[in-house]
Structure 1
Amino acid sequence: MEVAELVPTDLDTLKDHIVRRYDDLSPRLQQVADFAMAQPMLVAVETMVTIAEQANVPLSTLSRFSNAMGFSGFSSMQAVFRDHYFNRPRDYKERVRKARNEAEFGPDSAAAIFHDFGAANIEAMEQLQITVSPQKLDRAVSLLEGAETIYIQGMRRAYPVAFYLWYALMKSNNNVVLIDDNGGMLSPLTRLMGERDVLVTFTFSPYAPETTDVIDLAYQKKVPIIAITDNQMMEQGNKMDVCFEVQEGDNLGFRSLSCSVYLAQTLAVSLMCQDSV
């Protein structure tokens, strides 16, 4: 007998729910899913009429989408979005603004850029703290703990975070492999991956084709995949066993890696704590 899936009670779980069911939704319902994933704040604060207008769907489609996600109606689904944003810390901008006003430096000075990067990273990390659910963290650590070998992969901008996680886990009792293409070793390193292992991948837009290939290979081999990415609705999002969506701080077109490193540290130290029990 099929076990009924629990109704999501937090936004992180609901987003996972949407990604898993996305391919089975009608085009109209996918339209609502796209809007909800791209504009969660608007879903939290706007009226049903406004949301329907901005998503360019009839009111009834919002109700059908809510039902498809397991809710009794749109208001009960919207409550999940509202709970998420009503608990969001809101005083960081005022603190940074005050610091900049009290200091005498130009808008393009190193001090101004320093404060702007700090503000962007503080906002991103505070957002991440209220976005990631404890259940998802526990699931990721459980997969890592049960793996015979942990494969870690990230290319280009994501490579420093992948390398950091590999370095951190080298201190644990786990078998850890950093997948990179140095010396043409990408294929030999991935050839031995199996379903008793786990792949941790870091991938950000524009997504590196090397990472896309590794994810596809792991999925074909039934290797559990833990992903840290900037868009859970990416093309391969439904192949992930655990997917952490991070929105990094951005200043002058330069995106940070603070949130990704924060998650990598959390996973590494949590796994080490499990190993010591």
Structure 2
Amino acid sequence: MTLRELAVASSAKTLETLRGDIVRRYEELSPRLQQVAKYVLENPNDMALQTLAVIAERCEVQPSTIVRFAKTFGYEGASDMQELFKDEMLTQAPSPSYAERIRQFSRRAGAAGALAPQDVMHEFADSNILALEHLKSSVRKADLERAVEMIAGASAVYIVGLRRSFPVASYLAYALRHVDKRAYLLDGVAGMLAEQSTMLTSKDLLIAISFQPYAAETVEIVGSTREQKARIIAITDSRLSPIAAASDLVFEIKDAEVRQFRSLTASLCLAQSLVISYAFDMEKRGRVR
């Protein structure tokens, strides 16, 4: 078999397989290739539509680094890898990538200079609309249904989300209790987070929420929960998040960010959707009074 044939045989044949390969091998990559990996995962439309020079500039690496990345995953060159992204785009309705729309929005917002309170509100509203549209198009029906099944099948649901993630975690605990689901918020009051997490058993479900910069405590809880054989749903901002690899199901959420202030609108929308879907499912089965 020739070197070209070996490369083709070892390369991923679908984009989903390539994404899985990147996540699995991420820690093995050099810092530069890790930089490319993050860009490839987060900017699929750019990978399909842009030239190698543009991708390299946005990724802040040399074009040769993109080529090296492609060869690392078994492709003869970057163009062969890009074909997977083009094929996926052909099966979907064409639309600007989320990253590109955010870039356009940021350029418009940055040109506005000093803003009145109403202008600030409009910026946040517009940015959150983009985030919610991305949520609608990126979260898969099968993943939502699987998450509801996992909640329904769990003896109890434990939720952890610290610092910026805390509002999402506290909402989930509050809302699940109101639909008669045993739910416990791991809030770490009095430094008891580790002790709280020891209550989890293999029959339970952990929902972990964490965004950059990832809370080390949440990562530790996910790791210990994996050892206890409990199932885990992660709500995070990247497939390369440290809580993603150990999780059974990952929701990758891109919340709005305006002038370095981050919103939680999309994450809360997902949380509410999961709780209400679970409630409807229980009502259908006659389990909710």
1:234 is matched with 241
Secondary structure in structure 1 of the residue aligned to 2:73 = helix
1:86 to 94, 97, 101: 94
> 1:36/1:273 Cα in 2 relative to 1: closer, same or farther (>3 Å)?
same
Partner SS state of residue 170, structure 1: helix
Q: Separation in 1 of the partners of 2:142 and 2:134?
A: 17
Cα shift readout 1:117-152 (whole Å, capped 9, x = no counterpart): 001101111111111111111121111111111001
Q: CA deviation at 1:220?
A: 1.3
Q: Quote the Cα distance in structure 2 between the aligned partners of 1:77 and 1:66.
A: 16
Tell which deviates more after alignment, 52-61 or 186-195. Answer: 52-61
1:172 offset after TM fit, Å?
1.6
Q: 1:17 aligns with which of 11, 20, 30?
A: 20
Higher relative contact order (CA 8 A, sep 6+): 1
Q: Does 1:156 align with 2:163?
A: yes
Percent identical among aligned pairs is: 29
Q: Are residues 219 and 160 of structure 1, via their aligned partners in 2, closer, same or farther at CA, if it must alter by over 3 Å?
A: same
What residue number does 1:44 align with?
Answer: 48
In the superposition, the TM-score normalised over structure 1's length comes to 0.77
Cα deviations by residue, 1:153-194 (Å, 9 ceiling, x for unpaired): 110111011101111101123211111111333233211212
User: By how many angstroms is 1:116 displaced?
Assistant: 0.4
Q: Structure 2 vs 1, CA of residues 157 and 60 (structure 1 numbering), >3 Å: closer, same or farther?
A: closer
In structure 1, what residue type is equivalent to 2:268?
A: V
Structure 2 residues without counterparts, runs of 5 or longer:
1-11
Q: 1:243 to 1:15 in 2, by over 3 A?
A: farther
**1:200 touches 1:225 (CA, 8 Å); kept in 2?**
yes
The aligned runs of 1:92-131 (5 Å cut-off) are: 107-131=114-138
Q: CA deviation at 1:239?
A: 0.8
3-state DSSP of counterpart to 2:37: helix
Distance change (3 Å), C-alpha of 1:250 and 1:82:
farther
Q: Quick check: 1:225 aligned with 2:218?
A: no
In 1, are the aligned partners of 2:256 and 2:263 still within 8 Å (CA)? yes
Q: What runs of 5+ residues in structure 1 fail to find an aligned partner?
A: 1-5
Q: Please tell me whether the aligned partners of residues 162 and 202 of structure 1 are also in contact (alpha carbons under 8 angstroms).
A: yes
The CA deviation at 1:55 is: 5.5
Match 2:182 to one of 128, 153, 175: 175
Match of 1:3 in 2: none
The whole-number CA distance in structure 2 between the counterparts of 1:61 and 1:255 is: 31
Matched pairs, number: 256
Q: Could you tell which deviates more after superposition, 23-32 or 241-250? A: 23-32
The code of the aligned residue for 1:37 comes to L
